[in-house]
Amino acid sequence: MRRLIFITAALLLTLLPARAGVLAPGRECVSLGGRWHYIVDPMDTGIYKYHMTLQKPSKRFFADRHFYEDKTRLVEYDFDKAPLIDVPGDWNTQSERLYYYEGSVWYRRTVDFKPEAGKRWFLYFGAVNYKCMVGINNTILGTHKGGFTPFWFEVTDVLKEGSNSLVVWVNNTRGQSEVPTLNYDWWNYGGITRDVKLVSVPEVFIKDYKISFDGSGIDITVSLDGGSAPVTVEIPELGLRKVIRGGHARFCKVKPELWCPENPKLYDIVLSCGEDRITDRVGFRTVRVEGDKILLNGKPVFLKGVALHDESIGVNPGRCRSEQDARALLEAAKDLGCNFLRLAHYPHSEEMVRLAEEMGFMLWEELPCYWNIDWSSEETYANAETQLLEMMERDYNRAAIIIWSVANETPRNPERLSFLGRLIAKVREKDSGRLVSAALEKKLVDPRHAVVEDELAELTDIVSFNQYEGWYDGTPADCDSLSWQIPVGKPIIVSEFGGGALYGNHGSDSELFTEEYLALLYRKNLEMLSRLPGLCGICPWCLKDFRSPKRPLTGIQDDFNRKGLIDEQGRRKQAFGVVRDYYLSR
Ligand code: GCB
């Protein structure tokens, strides 16, 4: 068994994808989304021999029967006859048989290709949950781990003219040392959950660019792949143009219209290098902390937030698949009066982030270091850091993101402090223009006194914590007299509070899971939180009821965490109005 784990780990480690940068946005892409064939493989027959020694993957499913040369061998699978599934999309909501499934699924589609002289080709995945191995025409391109961030492989030398077989092994088995770990409160949606694209670039191309604004000037750094050449950068509306030769340029003394929720101004930017050209939309703003205030563009701001999962609104909701799915959630948050979103508990899609930016939401983006992960494992740390870098690289240029958050409700111990301390140092090394946080916990020292005591708060810019007075602790009325002891001198964000209610379940306001109870809970919590000195923002937990296998209560939960202000179909509970009235009054 040990040998098997070792061989599997070795295979997974040696073929890592190319990383860094902005490969897909603003470029010529062919979406490979659509109907793919799939084979469910709970025993990993496509990988292992019957004695569990590692089967050379090229001799099994990657060979793709359709293209299989050796017709004399017994082949017990056929992608062409296998059922079809939508990509992007989770498998759990597309087949009743796969609703609770955690294991391996093989995907296959064919890709028509016509080579062009002087071009290179990359295969880009928006996200695959959780692990995957990708092959084309029987050549394994590599593997990726981490369910919410993009990765890509160069396929220039692998694609052949005509039809190509693209096979992806996906596995969403949870693991003790993974990020997230075995236990978490959301649905483990498996599959190729975000778009797959074929991207073409010239021999020398812009691999990455980063733009930032410090209040007086705009800095741009670019990096190239395949050679060196000058890069021209233009922001036409500001009349800015420069040729970058050494990888960096600064436009001094510029006065752009600043991005803010009331005026989410974005500018077109064009970068060109030889035949390569990328276009994007970027905003300019500053964010910093002064004492216990958060300053956006130099002025104190109150974050009227809500937390949400990347799960669509609908009768059978699943992982969001499209811009329309993201828009429906964002419109609900707009109606609630929000100017801020906590994108919980892992990186949401790029579409979600971009649309939120256009619509004027400040954003908190988060890593799935959730509850009690394996703090002492160096491999777990490396995994978390990779996910962090992939998230930051994808979204560095989004002005809407004001906070990177590294963890949620993690237990206090030295290993965790060191692990998260290293992640925080990494964030600061890569980005000095944003705030760093982590959602901490509060403790009741007795029913009337709550404390937030956590050495991690010394490393973050903001003291953020989750609290559930009136739900997991006490009653809504207890909010009236609860006293708080919170580290002083930093801004405070209450990153979660709330309770459960089933939409349409009415009764007295002392009855759990009724809309009336939840409305009272919110009224009492909002009064209590408003009294906290240094309060800079709040995030009700959460916008929409979301699927969670930890919530089986029949007739009420039925596999949904019912703490949404709207239910899974978008219907508003009474508490929605309570929060909206509060936001209108601030
Ligand atoms: C929390 C977690 C969140 C859960 C929520 C709950 O503290 O951060 O992920 O879903 O509580 O509903 O219990």
Ligand 1 atom nearest to CA at 184: 9
CATH class of the structural domain 296-585: alpha beta
Beta bridge partners of 407: none
Q: Which of 295, 310, 304, 309 is nearest to 337 (CA)?
A: 304
- 27 pLDDT band, cuts 50/70/90, is confident
Residue keyed to tokens 């256009």: 358
Asked if the model's pLDDT at residue 440 lies above 70, the reply is yes
- On the 0-12 / 13-18 / 19+ scale of CB atoms within 10 A, 226 is middle
Dihedral sign from CA coordinates of 537, 348, 366, 98: positive
- Each domain of the chain, given as residue ranges in start order, spans 2-202, 215-285, 296-585
Give me ligand 1 centre to Cα 455, in Å. 22
Q: What is the pLDDT of residue 380?
A: 98
Distance, CA of 286 to CA of 213 (rounded, Å): 7
pLDDT in tens, 32-55: 999 999 999 999 888 877 777 766
Q: What is the pLDDT of residue 138?
A: 81
Q: What is the pLDDT of residue 1?
A: 39
Q: What is the dihedral of CA 434, 440, 445, 447, to 10 degrees?
A: 100
Contact 409, 441 (CB under 8 A): yes
pLDDT in tens, 442-467: 999 999 999 999 999 999 999 999 99
Q: What is the pLDDT of residue 385?
A: 98
Point out the least confidently predicted range of 66-75, 81-90, 237-246: 66-75
Q: pTM for this structure?
A: 0.95
Q: Which of 178, 47, 147 is nearest to 106 (CA)?
A: 47
Give me ligand 1 centre to Cα 410, in Å. 12
- What integer is the mean pLDDT of 316-326? 97
Give me ligand 1 centre to Cα 465, in Å. 12
Q: What's the CATH code, domain 2-202?
A: 2.60.120.260
Give me ligand 1 centre to Cα 31, in Å. 35
- What integer is the mean pLDDT of 374-382? 98
pLDDT in tens, 164-175: 999 999 999 999
Q: What is the pLDDT of residue 2?
A: 41
Beta bridge partners of 271: 233, 278
CATH class of the structural domain 215-285: mainly beta
Asked if the model's pLDDT at residue 415 lies above 80, the reply is yes
Give me ligand 1 centre to Cα 185, in Å. 7
Q: What is the pLDDT of residue 61?
A: 72
Q: Which of 235, 34, 202, 227 is nearest to 119 (CA)?
A: 202
Give me ligand 1 centre to Cα 468, in Å. 9
Give me ligand 1 centre to Cα 194, in Å. 25
Asked if the model's pLDDT at residue 159 lies above 80, the reply is yes
pLDDT in tens, 180-208: 999 999 999 999 999 999 999 999 999 99
* Ligand 1, atom 13, residue with closest C-alpha: 185
* Ligand 1, atom 3, residue with closest C-alpha: 185
Residues in the ligand 1 pocket, defined by CB under 6 Å = 185, 345, 408-409, 466, 496, 541, 561, 563
Contact 531, 296 (CB under 8 A): no
Give me ligand 1 centre to Cα 393, in Å. 27
Alpha helices in 2-66 (DSSP H): 2-14
Give me ligand 1 centre to Cα 70, in Å. 53
- What integer is the mean pLDDT of 231-254? 97
- 339 pLDDT band, cuts 50/70/90, is very high
Q: What is the pLDDT of residue 360?
A: 98
Say which residue, 322 or 57, is predicted with more confidence. Answer: 322
Which mutation among 561, 562, 565 tests ligand 1's pocket best, with the greatest number of atoms within 8 A of CB? 561
* Ligand 1, atom 7, residue with closest C-alpha: 466
Q: What is the pLDDT of residue 131?
A: 97
Q: Give the tokens for residue 529.
A: 């939180």
Q: What is the pLDDT of residue 45?
A: 85
CA end-to-end span of the chain: 60
Ligand 1 atom nearest to CA at 561: 12
- Percent of the chain exceeding pLDDT 70 equals 93
**Residue 103 to residues 130, 131, 472, 562, Cα–Cα distance (Å):** 10, 10, 33, 27
Distance, CA of 122 to CA of 166 (rounded, Å): 13
Ligand 1 atom nearest to CA at 472: 13
Distance, CA of 331 to CA of 308 (rounded, Å): 13
3-state class (DSSP) for residue 27: coil
Which mutation among 466, 556, 557 tests ligand 1's pocket best, with the greatest number of atoms within 8 A of CB? 466
Q: Which of 111, 160, 116, 169 is nearest to 140 (CA)?
A: 169
pLDDT in tens, 524-582: 999 999 999 999 999 999 999 999 999 999 999 999 999 999 999 999 999 999 999 99
Which mutation among 370, 405, 541 tests ligand 1's pocket best, with the greatest number of atoms within 8 A of CB? 541
Give the mean pLDDT of the chain.
93
- What integer is the mean pLDDT of 255-282? 96
Q: What is the pLDDT of residue 19?
A: 55
